[in-house]
């Protein structure tokens, strides 16, 4: 069951190095603490090799790129690979600009990735090497729906096999595949899209889940996705009159903080295809 993956995070307290974007860096740190992990942030090229060496996993998020942080991503990634650490890529906004697209594609080529997590537009951009996104949001034409679900499952399986890593596509329906099986996950709330950074938070948390569960990475990635979606449901159920998206963000993090494996198993809604 997925719950044991969550409990393993709490029991092992994995240290995760995050090279993440400036918009959500604080929320990523807080959600890692909430799920039982331990965050450390660094994107300075002269610092990242030492930092990633003491961690178990590396979360690379391209949301606010600059020349220095790009150098840091490659340096940290190569060091993490040398140490056989978990490396996750979050290609935020890939397809929105040449720099984002080219950087994400090059990171895929140069690094051995454990997982890639993004929305459907970003993942399609990586699969094709080019594409378009609406800012950092998925293009509506790309949305995974019940109608196109079989095609979406086939796509993520094929891409995961070619990329030789776990691929997680998040949206109204979440897909997590290792190329052989695909978890189809229906946890979450549409209101989560009104908060900046739920995807970034998930990438940090997923890295911790992968580090804490080396023997079943696919299940661990799916557990992280279910946990975030379930937290969105729990957080929304606790909203009061006058609350808005800022409060909702905090309630989601609080829901993760108060969650355990038993609660995740009870609330997770998924099927395997």
Cβ-contact 92, 100 below 8 angstroms: yes
Q: What is the mean pLDDT of residues 230-258?
A: 97
Closest CA to 77 of 66, 89, 90: 89
Cβ-contact 222, 2 below 8 angstroms: yes
- The token pair at 227 is 């946990």
Q: How far apart are CA 144 and CA 75, in angstroms?
A: 34
Q: What are phi and psi of 111, to 5 degrees?
A: -110, 150
Could you give the percent of the chain with pLDDT greater than 90?
Answer: 93
- CA 43, distance to chain mean position in Å, is 18
**Domain range list for the chain:** 3-272
Cβ-contact 153, 173 below 8 angstroms: no
| Lowest model confidence (mean pLDDT) among 40-49, 57-66, 141-150, 229-238 | 141-150
* Predicted local confidence at residue 52, as pLDDT: 98
Cβ-contact 95, 125 below 8 angstroms: yes
Q: How far apart are CA 36 and CA 40, in angstroms?
A: 13
Q: How far apart are CA 203 and CA 17, in angstroms?
A: 12
pLDDT digits (tens, 9 = 90+) for 169-216: 999 999 999 999 999 999 999 999 999 999 999 999 999 999 999 999
The DSSP annotation for 79-145 comes to: HHHHTT-EEEEE-TTTTSSHHHHHHHHHHHHHS--SEEEE-HHHHHHHHHT----BTTBPPGGG---
pLDDT score of 132 more than 60:
no
Ranges of H-type helices in 177-216: 198-212
Cβ-contact 223, 9 below 8 angstroms: no
Closest CA to 34 of 216, 208, 222: 208
E strand or H helix that includes residue 184? strand 182-185
pLDDT score of 137 more than 80:
no
Q: How far apart are CA 43 and CA 75, in angstroms?
A: 10
- The token pair at 208 is 């911790």
pLDDT score of 138 more than 80:
no
Look at the domain 3-272 and name its fold. Answer: 3.40.1190
pLDDT score of 140 more than 50:
no
Cβ-contact 41, 67 below 8 angstroms: no
Q: How far apart are CA 203 and CA 209, in angstroms?
A: 10
Cβ-contact 158, 196 below 8 angstroms: no
pLDDT score of 135 more than 50:
no
- Using CB atoms within 10 Å of the CB of residue 66, give its burial: 0 to 12 exposed, 13 to 18 middle, 19+ buried: exposed
Confidence of residue 142 (pLDDT cuts 50, 70, 90): confident
pLDDT digits (tens, 9 = 90+) for 3-46: 999 999 999 999 999 999 999 999 999 999 999 999 999 999 99
* Predicted local confidence at residue 141, as pLDDT: 54
* Predicted local confidence at residue 1, as pLDDT: 85
């Amino acid at each position: 069951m997925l719950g044991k993956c969550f409990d393993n995070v709490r029991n092992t307290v994995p240290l995760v190095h995050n090279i993440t974007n400036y918009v959500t860096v604080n929320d990523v740190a807080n959600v890692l603490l909430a799920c039982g992990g331990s965050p450390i942030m660094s994107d300075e090229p002269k610092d990242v090799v030492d930092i990633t060496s003491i961690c178990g996993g590396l979360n690379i998020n391209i949301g606010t790129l600059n020349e220095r942080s790009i150098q840091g991503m490659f340096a940290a990634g190569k060091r993490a690979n040398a140490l056989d650490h978990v490396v996750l890529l979050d290609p935020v906004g890939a397809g929105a600009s040449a720099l984002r697209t080219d950087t994400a594609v090059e990171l895929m080529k140069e690094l051995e990735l454990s997982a890639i997590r993004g929305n459907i537009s970003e993942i399609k951009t990586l699969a094709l090497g080019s594409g378009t996104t609406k800012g950092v949001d998925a293009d509506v034409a790309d949305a995974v729906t019940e109608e196109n679900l079989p095609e979406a499952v086939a796509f993520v399986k094929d891409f995961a096999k070619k990329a030789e890593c776990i691929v997680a596509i998040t949206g109204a329906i979440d897909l997590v595949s290792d190329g052989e099986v695909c978890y189809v996950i229906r946890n979450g709330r549409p209101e989560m899209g009104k908060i900046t950074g739920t995807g970034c938070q998930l990438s940090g948390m997923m890295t911790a889940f992968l580090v804490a569960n080396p023997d079943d990475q696919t299940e661990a990635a799916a557990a992280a996705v279910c946990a975030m979606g379930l937290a969105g449901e729990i957080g929304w159920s606790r909203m009061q009159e006058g609350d808005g998206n800022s409060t909702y963000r905090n309630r989601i993090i609080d829901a993760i903080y108060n969650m355990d494996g038993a609660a995740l198993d009870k609330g997770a809604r998924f099927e395997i295809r």
